[in-house]
């Protein structure tokens, strides 16, 4: 094992201990502020138990007055070759140095071309092909800015809608999976600016979804915490538009997560049940907004059950999901990740590793940069060995 102060394998509990000592707070006082026992916190800090629920991480971060990002740690150091194939600097420039109402001085291609390019980026995201997304998005976003700022309808409105999808969906998702949370936040903000210029409540809801998930929910980010209110604002404008129904459904799932992070299990279950009701008549459409449908709701409900500390329910929800109905390697990987988290809670380590290997084959960066999976794998290393586990840990730069 690497030393505890090595950035690669440091446990979340080590970060909790460092923050507690820096704040001059006793173990007993911090445990009381977080609503947990002193013994539990001692085990967390000493690596004898793992933090696997975002609500506990959020409570500790609030008590310590630090960002949950600090406790979770940064993304995995890149020792594998995959990051050589993409460069985020062009995307960073267009997100930070331009905006929907302040475009770069470039010639914009026709909207049909940009729409097709964005479709290619969206397909790449579903296959965890970050090199393609990083290549496509900077030029597409910059040129959509130019169309939006030109002010000619209907091109302006179409460009703004495409910007919500490019920045608020594809951009934030890719950057979050890569651990680039600050840039993901900026991407989500650009999507919100586009939606505000458009002035359509459904598209504002779509942009709000991207903002809600730009950062870890353990931070209790405001866009996530107000998801229920945004869903309520979207609901009267749904009509018979499938896209509007999908946006509304994803906001209900976001509201369920916000409730769960706050420890409101009943509220989370109520929002998730509403999302399931909304998904039933829609089925599973491959082109649905954020893949809202029966199968994806099942993945979310498995995740919410893990957050609630109900691994048996999580595995039941996961068993009801047909992976073939998830038109995305990322979401199929998420299904395996949630099963692994549930199995870890049940001390079924061999099965958990098997699920993580499935997830890794589908979306390696997503698995390698997932802070709670890094915590789970490090914890299992402390408790057991095995070639598969050590191989996974090595690929995650944990040993």
- Please report the pLDDT score of residue 82 as a whole number: 47
Residue 169 shares a structural domain with residue 280: no
Q: How far apart are CA 303 and CA 215, in angstroms?
A: 17
pLDDT tens digits, one per residue of 197-231: 999 999 999 999 999 999 888 888 899 999 999 99
pTM for this prediction: 0.82
The beta strand positions in the chain, using DSSP E, are none
**What average pLDDT does range 150-163 have in this prediction?**
94
CA proximity to 271, closest of 243, 298, 249: 249
The answer to whether residue 167 sits within a structural domain is yes
Q: Which residues contact 34 (CB under 8 A, 6 or more apart)?
A: 41, 56, 59, 60, 63
pLDDT band at 102 (very low <50, low <70, confident <90, very high): very high
Do 137 and 242 fall within a single domain?
Answer: no
- Both 347 and 249 in one domain: the answer is no
Count Cβ atoms below 10 Å from residue 281 Cβ, excluding itself. 9
Same-domain pairing of 90 and 167: yes
102 in helix, strand or coil?
A: strand
| Shared domain check, 190 and 96 | yes
Last residue of a domain, one of 215, 235, 253: 215
Rg (CA), the chain: 21
Number of domains in the chain: 4
CA–CA distance, 102 with 120 (Å, rounded to integer): 25
Query: With 90 as the cut, is the pLDDT of residue 345 above it?
Result: yes
Could you give the 3-state DSSP secondary structure of residue 126? Answer: helix
CATH of the domain at 59: 1.10.260.40
pLDDT at 274: 96
CA 188 from centre of chain: 12
Domain end point (choices 197, 215, 233)? 215
Q: Are residues 189 and 277 in the same domain?
A: no
Provide mean pLDDT across the span 33-38: 87
Same domain, 286 and 310: yes
> Cα–Cα distance between 126 and 282 in angstroms, integer?
20
Calculate mean pLDDT across residues 125-153: 93
Give the domain extent around 1: 1-73
- Does some domain include residue 187? yes
∠ CA 188-296-267, rounded to 5°: 80
On whether both 296 and 372 belong to a single domain, the answer is: no
Residue-level pLDDT at 383: 80
Is residue 297 in a domain? Answer: yes
Does 260 share its domain with 373? no
Domain boundary among 168, 197, 215: 215
Residue 272 sits in the same domain as residue 146: no
The chain-wide mean pLDDT, for the chain, equals 89
Q: How many residues does the chain have?
A: 399
Residues 128-166: b if buried by 16+ CB within 10 A, e if exposed: bbbebbbbbbbbbbbbbbbbbbeeeeeebbbbbbbbbbb
- 322 located within any domain: no
**pLDDT tens for each residue of 54-69:** 888 888 888 888 777 7
Task: Tell me if 51 is assigned to some domain.
Answer: yes
Residues 92, 194: one domain?
Answer: yes
Q: Quick check: is 323 in a domain?
A: no
Question: What percent of the chain shows pLDDT beyond 70?
Answer: 94
Least confident of 42-51, 144-153, 167-176: 42-51
Task: Quote the CA–CA distance of 16 and 309 in Å, as a whole number.
Answer: 21
The per-residue pLDDT for 74 is 52
Q: Is residue 293 a contact partner of residue 299, using CB atoms and an 8 Å limit?
A: no
104/21 same-domain check:
no
């Amino acid at each position: 094992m690497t030393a505890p102060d090595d950035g690669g394998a440091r446990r979340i509990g080590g970060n909790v201990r460092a923050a507690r000592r820096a704040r001059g707070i006793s173990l007993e006082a911090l445990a009381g502020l977080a609503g947990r026992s002193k013994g539990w916190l001692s085990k967390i800090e000493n690596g004898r138990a793992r933090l696997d629920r975002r609500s506990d991480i959020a409570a500790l971060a609030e008590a310590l007055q630090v960002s949950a990002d600090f406790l979770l740690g940064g993304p995995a150091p890149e020792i594998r070759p995959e990051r050589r194939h993409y460069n985020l600097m062009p995307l960073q420039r267009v997100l930070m140095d331009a905006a929907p109402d302040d475009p770069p001085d470039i010639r914009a291609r026709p909207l049909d071309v940009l729409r097709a390019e964005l479709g290619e980026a969206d397909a790449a995201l579903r296959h965890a092909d970050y090199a393609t997304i990083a290549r496509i998005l900077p030029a597409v976003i910059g040129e959509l800015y130019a169309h939006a700022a030109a002010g000619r309808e209907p091109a302006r409105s179409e460009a703004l809608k495409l910007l919500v999808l490019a920045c608020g969906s594809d951009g934030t998702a890719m950057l979050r999976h890569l651990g680039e949370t600050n840039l993901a936040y900026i991407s989500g903000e650009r999507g919100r600016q586009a939606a505000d210029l458009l002035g359509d409540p459904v598209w504002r809801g779509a942009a709000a979804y991207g903002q809600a998930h730009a950062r870890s929910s353990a931070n209790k980010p405001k866009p996530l915490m107000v998801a229920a209110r945004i869903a309520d604002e979207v609901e009267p404008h749904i009509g018979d538009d499938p896209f509007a129904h999908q946006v509304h459904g994803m906001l209900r799932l976001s509201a369920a997560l916000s409730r769960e992070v706050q420890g409101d299990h009943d509220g989370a279950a109520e929002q998730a049940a509403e999302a399931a009701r909304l998904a039933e008549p829609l089925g599973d459409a491959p082109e649905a907004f954020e893949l809202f449908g029966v199968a994806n709701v099942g993945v979310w409900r498995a995740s919410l059950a893990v957050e609630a500390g109900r691994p048996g329910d999580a595995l039941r929800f996961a068993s009801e999901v047909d992976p073939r109905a998830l038109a995305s390697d990322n979401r199929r990987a998420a299904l395996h990740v949630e099963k692994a988290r549930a199995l870890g809670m049940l001390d079924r380590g061999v099965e958990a590793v098997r699920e993580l290997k499935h997830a890794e084959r589908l979306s390696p960066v997503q698995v390698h940069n997932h802070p709670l999976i890094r915590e789970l794998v490090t914890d299992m290393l402390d408790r057991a060995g095995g070639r598969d586990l050590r191989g996974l840990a090595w690929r995650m730069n944990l040993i």
